[in-house]
Amino acid sequence: MAKKNAIGGRIKALRKAKLWQQKLLTRMVGIRFERIYKYVGGFNTPPIDVLVKFADAFDTTVDYLVTEMP
């Protein structure tokens, strides 16, 4: 399994690449800002249903978020 901060780092990198603010991402994924902060900071690992929402928002796969392999 991937390190917690690896998943958060990929979420952060994808968000920055799209020039999105965290507030926009919270609306797109449907979770509170505090949750995204904890995921990006590596304090918590997103559950699979949230990973799917992130993958959909970023037009990528859950595999990429977890392993960095498309």
**Tokens read off for 34:** 């505090």
Whether the pLDDT of residue 60 is over 90: the answer is yes
Whether the pLDDT of residue 42 is over 60: the answer is yes
> Could you report the per-residue pLDDT of 3-33, keeping only the tens digit for each?
557 999 999 999 999 999 999 999 999 999 9
Determine the structural domain holding residue 19 and report its residue range: 4-67
CATH of the domain at 41: 1.10.260.40
Query: Which run of H or E residues covers position 39?
Result: helix 33-40
* Predicted pLDDT at 7: 93
- Which amino acid, 12? K
pTM across the whole model: 0.88
Domains: count for the chain: 1
